[in-house]
């Protein structure tokens, strides 16, 4: 077995004993008749005409689990590509929102980590387009060994410039493994997608200002909207890792949370008991948040999601005011995220202090956060957020809008999709957050983010 090379921000315990596995098995037997797995996330008919011709309007389409099609600045982006019909012998609970053969050509693929439910090689291979693939440090060799050539590795807080977008790899609390010999040999994390400052191009044109170029002055409104330096990109060519550090949203090693310099391997341990093949039952977990840091709920005094200042928190409605909970009602609100939204894709993660670090470093419009595969919480908690913790993470990142993900596609733990949605809704109402801050997408629906 390979020695672990990467770890989490905090030196948290990751080992699981036979006692934990035995307790989980017992709970599964006791609760088997009490869990209702009949509910499935609905599928909406995808607007294929729009998806294939759109190169100007920002949009988000949920394929399922952590797989999305993002259309931003004229770039077609896929996150964590998985169209597989099975995962660890479990059949998919709902079909992908857009069939793989109906996808538009893909320009960019973002991978959060190596687990099979987030990186399916067959799906990646069948995606059309001249795709560039961004992966965590340590994972590039595996993809190149499978024949993929346009692969770039990033460490935490490193950035990559691609045709008017800046993509920064940010921490998460998780672990990585694809076979018995590569435990934590690659890293894990999320991605922050920002519009480039100081670029003047038509979306889809693929223009990138290099070191020797002279971009025009940025639009003051855009500079104010995204709250950062308008310095031009220092990338020498399309898709080069950023050399410049220190600007707003950049990756200065000195600013890495927890004193972790970009590219420095962290310490961490992992349980070797997990069977190869992905997220099988009994998978080890990596890193947990401090129990004092609001486990399973909203921390006292935390700012409301959608507002960095508690005084600016939206006034909430009571359960009686809002009526029955129907997250996928056809008339559910689809808020405005802006023409050039900054999007945070969290990947797979437990609750940890890094959410607040990300919120301080970036001005996030949309946070895509996981709400499923958390039960039993004692076992899954360190690596997967509960719905309540996901809402707290939304608050920590100071994002304006929250898109739940990582539920409803695969049965990776004991919780059900309905339970995850109900707990999220109860937490939202109890915290006084308005429903308009949550964007609940059916599989296949396209959210027109600038409407």
Q: Is the pLDDT of residue 115 over 70?
A: yes
Q: Is the pLDDT of residue 380 over 50?
A: yes
Note the pTM of the prediction, 2 decimals. 0.75
pLDDT-above-90 percentage for the chain: 58
Count Cβ atoms within 10 A of the Cβ of residue 156 and give its class: 0-12 exposed, 13-18 middle, 19 or more buried: buried
Q: Which residue has the higher pLDDT, 161 or 14?
A: 161
> Residue 279: its pLDDT value, please?
38
> Residue 282: its pLDDT value, please?
35
Q: Is the peptide bond before 379 cis (omega within 30 degrees of 0)?
A: no
Q: Residue 58: name the closest of 78, 44, 76, 81 by CA.
A: 76
d(CA 40, CA 121) in angstroms, rounded, equals 26
What strands lie across the sheet with 446-448, from one edge to the other?
A: 151-154, 132-136, 108-110, 75-79, 67-72, 59-64, 446-448
Helices (H) and strands (E) counted in the chain, each on its own, are: 10, 15
Band (pLDDT 50/70/90 cuts) for residue 13 is: low
Q: Which residue has the higher pLDDT, 190 or 198?
A: 190
67-88: average pLDDT = 97
Pairing of strands 401-405, 366-370: parallel
Range from 86-95, 161-170, 223-232, 301-310 carrying the lowest mean pLDDT: 223-232
Q: Residue 222: name the closest of 340, 307, 336 by CA.
A: 340
Range from 89-98, 162-171, 195-204, 236-245 carrying the lowest mean pLDDT: 236-245
Q: Is the pLDDT of residue 303 over 90?
A: no
> Residue 329: its pLDDT value, please?
80
Which range, 86-90, 94-98, 332-336, has the best average confidence (pLDDT)? 94-98
Count Cβ atoms within 10 A of the Cβ of residue 418 and give its class: 0-12 exposed, 13-18 middle, 19 or more buried: middle
Band (pLDDT 50/70/90 cuts) for residue 14 is: low
CA angle 221, 225, 230 (to 5 degrees): 75
CB atoms within 10 A of CB 307: 17
| Torsion angle in degrees (nearest 10) through CA of 337, 338, 340, 341 | -20
Beta strands in 351-440 (DSSP E): 366-370, 401-405
> Residue 59: its pLDDT value, please?
98
> Residue 19: its pLDDT value, please?
72
**Residues 80, 112 contacting (CB under 8 angstroms):** yes
Give pLDDT tens digits for 250-282.
Answer: 444 334 433 333 333 333 333 333 333 333 333
d(CA 342, CA 335) in angstroms, rounded, equals 15
Residue 192 forms beta bridges with which residues? 168, 344
d(CA 169, CA 160) in angstroms, rounded, equals 8
| Every domain of the chain and the residues it spans | 50-198+333-434
Q: Which residue has the higher pLDDT, 166 or 35?
A: 166
Range from 68-72, 288-292, 428-432 carrying the lowest mean pLDDT: 288-292
Architecture of domain 50-198+333-434: 4-Layer Sandwich (3.60)
Give pLDDT tens digits for 183-197.
Answer: 999 999 999 999 985
């Amino acid at each position: 077995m390979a020695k672990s090379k990467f770890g989490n921000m905090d030196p948290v315990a990751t080992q699981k004993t036979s006692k934990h596995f035995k307790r989980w098995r017992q709970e599964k037997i006791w609760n088997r008749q009490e869990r209702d797995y009949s509910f499935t996330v609905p599928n909406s008919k995808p607007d294929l005409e729009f998806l294939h011709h759109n190169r100007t309007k920002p949009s988000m389409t949920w394929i399922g689990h952590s797989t999305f099609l993002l259309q931003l600045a004229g770039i077609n982006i896929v996150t964590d590509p998985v169209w597989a019909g099975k995962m660890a012998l479990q059949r998919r609970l709902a079909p992908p929102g857009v069939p793989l053969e109906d996808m538009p050509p893909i320009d960019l693929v973002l991978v959060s980590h190596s687990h099979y439910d987030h990186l399916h090689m067959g799906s990646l291979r069948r995606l059309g387009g001249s795709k560039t693939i961004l992966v965590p440090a340590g994972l590039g060799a595996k993809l190149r060994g499978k024949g993929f050539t346009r692969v770039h590795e990033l460490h935490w807080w490193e950035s990559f410039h691609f045709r008017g977008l800046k993509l920064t790899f940010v921490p998460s609390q998780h672990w990585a493994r694809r076979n018995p010999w590569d435990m934590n040999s690659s890293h894990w994390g999320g991605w922050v997608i920002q519009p480039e400052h100081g670029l003047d191009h038509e979306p889809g044109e693929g223009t990138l200002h290099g070191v020797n170029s002279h971009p025009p002055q940025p639009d003051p409104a855009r500079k104010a909207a995204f709250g950062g330096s308008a310095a031009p990109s220092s990338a020498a060519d399309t898709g080069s890792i950023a050399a410049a550090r220190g600007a707003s949203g950049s990756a200065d090693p000195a600013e890495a949370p927890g004193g972790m310099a970009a590219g420095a391997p962290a310490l961490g341990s992992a349980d070797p008991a997990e069977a190869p093949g992905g997220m099988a039952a009994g998978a080890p977990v990596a890193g947990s948040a401090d129990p004092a840091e609001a486990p399973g709920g909203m921390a006292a005094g935390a700012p409301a999601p959608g507002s960095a200042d508690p005084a600016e928190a939206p006034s909430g409605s009571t359960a009686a005011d809002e009526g029955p909970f129907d997250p996928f009602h056809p008339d559910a609100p689809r808020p405005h995220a802006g023409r050039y939204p900054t999007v945070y894709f969290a990947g797979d993660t437990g609750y940890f202090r890094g959410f607040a670090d990300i919120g301080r470093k970036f001005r996030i419009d949309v946070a895509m956060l996981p709400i499923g595969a958390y039960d039993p919480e004692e076992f899954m908690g360190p690596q997967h957020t509960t719905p309540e913790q996901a809402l707290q993470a939304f608050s920590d990142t100071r994002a304006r809008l929250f898109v739940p993900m990582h539920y409803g596609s695969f049965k990776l733990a004991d919780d059900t999709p309905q339970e995850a949605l109900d707990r999220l809704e109860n937490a939202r109402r109890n915290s006084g957050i308005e429903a308009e801050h949550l964007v609940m997408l059916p599989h296949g629906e396209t959210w027109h983010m600038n409407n």
